[in-house]
């Protein structure tokens, strides 16, 4: 697919299908190209995977860095791509809307806004401020000439507030503000996932790969989830292989990890393909 309008329409259709879909999270162009080659129908970026790949900590990315990486993933994969835009990298509402428009210019057809910010003592935005910010993101999305799928995230469970009632209240308000997809990362009980899904009338994204979130595709499909992401899990799995290889070399003086590595030839062939 080469036309952004067509790509956007196909991404929207995935959220309206009778069955859920997995949207894995590559951290760079190479991982994106491999996932596209394997047949995934859409991709999502990971802010954590990207920042760790740059040897920095969560919250250290700029908007320009995130969008530059996202554009590479879009161009390399040819798939619909949804971006992890954190809190849209802006304190003012105009800046929030601008981030969505800039995301579209980078080739993205979806993106998220969180109700929390990184690197502060009290990260969660107050209810009304969070709602205003979602409205601004919706305004940015609706100004585009194609259906940009805006995901509104409630970060309660990631920031020490495992309050399902407040999470549902926030997501219902974000839905009423015009968000297309709803997302509460960190839910660990299927019953809570079911309660969330039954309390809203928008597609719900659930992340698998965080502690306590080892749901199966069948579990989440049965709970009514429409979209399944994996956050930074792919990057962390890849880095785990680096850790294990380093341990083997230093602790045992052996190199058996190399025997299980993907071959040079297969990678060269993958990346040579247009």
pLDDT tens for the 274 residues of the chain, in order: 469 999 999 999 999 999 999 999 999 999 999 999 999 999 999 999 999 999 999 889 999 999 999 999 999 999 999 999 999 999 999 999 999 999 999 999 999 999 999 888 899 999 999 999 999 999 999 999 999 999 999 999 999 999 999 999 999 999 999 999 999 999 999 999 999 999 999 999 999 999 999 899 999 999 999 999 999 999 999 999 999 999 999 999 999 999 999 999 999 999 998 6
Task: Give all strands of the β-sheet with 149-153 in edge-to-edge order.
Answer: 21-23, 227-229, 204-207, 181-183, 149-153, 110-114, 81-83, 43-44
pLDDT of the residue at 2 = 60
pLDDT of the residue at 274 = 65
* Lookup: tokens for 218: 């069948």
pLDDT of the residue at 53 = 97
Question: Of 31, 209, 33, 8, whose CA–CA distance to 111 is shortest?
Answer: 8
Q: How many residues belong to the chain?
A: 274
CA 27, 188, 96, 23 dihedral sign is positive
Whole-number CA gyration radius for the chain: 19
Q: b/e map of 34-53 (b: 16 or more CB within 10 Å)?
A: bbbeeebebbbbbbbbbbbb
Annotated domain spans of the chain: 4-231
Q: How far apart are CA 118 and CA 269, in angstroms?
A: 40
Class of domain 4-231: alpha beta
pLDDT of the residue at 93 = 98
* Lookup: tokens for 181: 């997809």
Q: How far apart are CA 203 and CA 171, in angstroms?
A: 11
pLDDT of the residue at 118 = 86
């Amino acid at each position: 697919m080469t036309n952004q309008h067509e790509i956007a329409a196909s991404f929207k259709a995935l959220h309206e299908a009778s069955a859920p879909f997995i949207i894995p999270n590559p951290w760079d162009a190479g991982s994106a190209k491999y996932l596209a080659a394997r047949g995934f129908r859409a991709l999502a970026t990971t802010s954590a995977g990207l920042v760790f790949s740059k040897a920095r900590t969560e919250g250290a990315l700029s908007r320009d860095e995130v969008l530059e990486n996202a554009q590479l993933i879009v161009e390399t994969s040819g798939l619909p791509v949804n971006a992890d835009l954190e809190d849209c990298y802006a304190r003012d509402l105009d800046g929030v809307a601008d981030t969505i428009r800039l995301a579209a210019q980078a080739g993205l057809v979806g993106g998220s806004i969180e109700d929390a910010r990184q690197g502060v003592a009290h990260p969660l935005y107050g209810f009304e401020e969070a709602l205003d910010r979602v409205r601004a993101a919706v305004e940015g999305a609706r100004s585009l000439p194609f259906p940009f799928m805006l995901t509104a995230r409630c970060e309660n469970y990631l920031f020490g507030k495992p309050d399902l009632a407040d999470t549902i209240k926030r997501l219902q308000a974000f839905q009423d503000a015009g968000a297309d997809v709803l997302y509460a990362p960190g839910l660990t009980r299927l019953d809570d996932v079911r309660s969330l899904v039954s309390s809203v009338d928008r597609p719900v994204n659930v992340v698998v790969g965080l502690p306590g979130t080892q749901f199966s595709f069948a579990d989440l499909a049965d709970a009514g989830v429409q979209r399944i992401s994996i956050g930074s899990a792919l990057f962390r799995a890849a880095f785990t292989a680096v850790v294990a290889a380093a341990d083997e070399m230093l602790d045992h003086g052996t190199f058996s990890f190399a025997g299980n590595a993907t071959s040079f030839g297969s990678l060269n062939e993958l990346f040579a393909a247009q």
